[in-house]
Amino acid sequence: MAVVFPLLLVDDDPTIADIFRRAIGNAFPEADLKVVDSFSEAAAYLEGLFGRGPRLVLLDIDLRSELSGIDFLTLLREHPQGRLLPVVILSAGEDQTIKEEAYDRGASAFTVKPFSYQAWKSYAEQLRAYWYGTATTPKLWFEREKNE
């Protein structure tokens, strides 16, 4: 039996989320995909975790809101477990300034979003080959703060 690989996608575009969900289902069956569409939803997901969290985060750089993907990356890197979590940035383009800021804030990789279903499927196959098949990632245990 294949090992389940929890994967978090943070992207505000429902079309991309749908295409990626279908592509990952075909190309990376071990992935257990959770999709959130905003900084606040991603932060709430992280805060609400009790137990094993994602093994990889795919993070849209431009969440088209007051708080960006860079802001969520910063939040992750300040979290005791999130600082260890691999984060792949998704961007519509290759703006050098944004790329440098993403790496400066702790991104593990910077990628340009594919533009077709076939390209997303290929992207998912590459994610599987590297993050599931080659790289080793920590099995992070997230706990909520106990304020009792």
Task: Name the 3-class secondary structure at 148.
Answer: coil
Mean pLDDT, the chain, as a whole number? 91
Query: Where are the chain's structural domains?
Result: 12-55+63-134
Q: Write out pLDDT tens, residues 42-77.
A: 999 988 888 888 999 999 999 888 899 999 999 999
Fold (CATH) for 12-55+63-134: Rossmann fold (3.40.50)
Greater confidence, 138 or 115? 115
Residue 91 backbone phi and psi in degrees, to 5: -135, 150
Cα–Cα distance for residue pair 48/122, rounded to 1 Å: 32
Q: What is the pTM of this model?
A: 0.92
